[in-house]
Amino acid sequence: MKAEVSSEPHERKESRDKVYNQVEVSKKDRSIAVERSAEVKALDADYFAVKDQIPTGFKLEEEYQKSRKRILQVLGGSEEDWDSYKWHLKNRIGKVEVLERIVHFSDEEKKQIEKASKGYRWSISPFFASLMDPDDKNCPIRMQAIPSILEELDSSEIKDPMIIKYNSPAPLISRLYPDRVIINVTNACSMFCRHCLRRKDIDYKDVTYPRRLLDQAIEYVRENEEIRDVLLTGGDALSLSNSQLDYILTKLDKIPHVEIKRLGSRMPCTLPQRITPELCEMLETHDPIYLNTQFNHPKEVTREAQKAVDMLTKCGVIVRDQTVLLNGINHNPHIMKKLMQELLKIKISPYYIFNCKKVEGIRHFRTTIADGLNIIEHLRGYTSGMAVPTFIITAPEGRGKTPIYPQYLLNPNVDGEPLIRTWGGHILQYPDEHQPNGSPNGIMGNEE
């Protein structure tokens, strides 16, 4: 019988076997690894026990379909209408008599809604209304959309936490940072979030600012060569028509020092039908564009949002999330973790968690800085690093975003080495690099 001769050169086989052997570990090492794996798994046992009970947009698809049918009936719309963002904008729900045919509330609540809505306009896109639980007044979607009497009872006096008047060097411009500015292009939104910090600008009528003011804002950008990043927001930047947006983006593209444009829009969450092929085709001509959106609960991460984000990413728009930390809605580490994981599934990158600002009418949504830190503690290490946004508090007097982190560096110099706390709670000395004077990185060396 003829022996089989391997055609593989001897040296290549040897080197391949060496790599295989490196992957193999001894029984003892394997058993240590198995123990360690069990240890890290146990660290998040609380979350694993509840994660499947947290409602998400994908799990609730059937309920959402039923609500859609009910809302179409109430508003006299067709399935075709449901796919049209213009229909949703035209049919925003802003009357208690209409809302009570979609979700259930008592006569007392009805009176309270009417009373509370005197301070701040309310209006809900039929799409966002279809995500509401008709029977649960604590539904996180309802709490974000329906006026609460608690708004009326809040007597905090802060109406403009950003002190826009001190930060607006030109019409429609807000400037808090060296190399970027905001242009506030409209006060309109597909729905008026109850926690909105810009509620003082929302007023009772949708306004798109005149071209004269937009041109002055763009002129300011042109005259200030250090501005490389321009955010169009409001309100919601996607409340503008495609041609209005195209006009502004084209002008910005002609300014050589503007490197990137950003759009601030909640519509991927609250009215995903706004993301149309025509919009995407136009945005693609203004590359690079980033879209910062806002999802606050896993129930908002829907099939429709996924489709919208897919369309945006295919035309090169990068979508990132800025969640607001809201008492009673998401101030819970498990809910926040699920939200971040659901966002990654539909290719939205978690960017910020904002502490809710102190603005008149939204006190009941505010939590503490400790709540925010606790959430970050339960994200870092416990889930993908990409699912860990930066926790931000906005400094008083319009002084900008301030990142707040849990403390992992316990003591920068214990016996010449820093002491660290790992995400899983181990306290360890870290072998830092030493500079010639003997101190780690020369930072803590004794001064002579």
Can you give the binding site for ligand SF4, defined by CB under 6 A?
189, 192-193, 196, 198, 235-236, 266
Q: How far is the CB of 345 from ligand SF4 (least distance, A)?
A: 23
> How far apart are the C-alpha atoms of 361 and 146, rounded to whole Å?
13
Residue closer to ligand SF4 by CB (options 63, 206) is 206
> How far apart are the C-alpha atoms of 1 and 182, rounded to whole Å?
81
Residue closer to ligand SF4 by CB (options 237, 255) is 237
Helix (H) or strand (E) holding 429, with range, is strand 427-429
> How far apart are the C-alpha atoms of 72 and 91, rounded to whole Å?
10
Q: How far is the CB of 266 from ligand SF4 (least distance, A)?
A: 4
Retrieve residue 98's tokens. Answer: 């209409």
Residue closer to ligand SF4 by CB (options 236, 321) is 236
> How far apart are the C-alpha atoms of 98 and 82, rounded to whole Å?
17
Q: Which residue has the tokens 């090169």?
A: 316
Q: How far is the CB of 101 from ligand SF4 (least distance, A)?
A: 24
DSSP state of 239: G
Q: How far is the CB of 193 from ligand SF4 (least distance, A)?
A: 3
Residue closer to ligand SF4 by CB (options 112, 184) is 184
Strands (E), 248-335: 260-264, 289-293, 318-325
Residue closer to ligand SF4 by CB (options 120, 391) is 120
Q: How far is the CB of 188 from ligand SF4 (least distance, A)?
A: 8
Q: How far is the CB of 147 from ligand SF4 (least distance, A)?
A: 13
Counting DSSP H helices and E strands in the chain, the numbers are 19, 12
Residue closer to ligand SF4 by CB (options 188, 258) is 188
User: Would strands 390-394 and 409-414 be described as parallel, antiparallel, or unpaired?
Assistant: unpaired
Q: How far is the CB of 237 from ligand SF4 (least distance, A)?
A: 10
Residue closer to ligand SF4 by CB (options 140, 235) is 235
Q: Give the number of other CB atoms < 10 A from CB of residue 132.
A: 26
Helix (H) or strand (E) holding 351, with range, is strand 349-355
Q: In what order do the strands lie in the sheet with 390-394?
A: 173-174, 180-184, 229-233, 260-264, 289-293, 318-325, 349-355, 390-394, 401-403
Q: How far is the CB of 37 from ligand SF4 (least distance, A)?
A: 42
Say how far residue 205 (Cα) sits from the centre of its chain. 27
Contact 354, 144 (CB under 8 A): no
Residue closer to ligand SF4 by CB (options 190, 341) is 190
First to last CA, the chain: 83
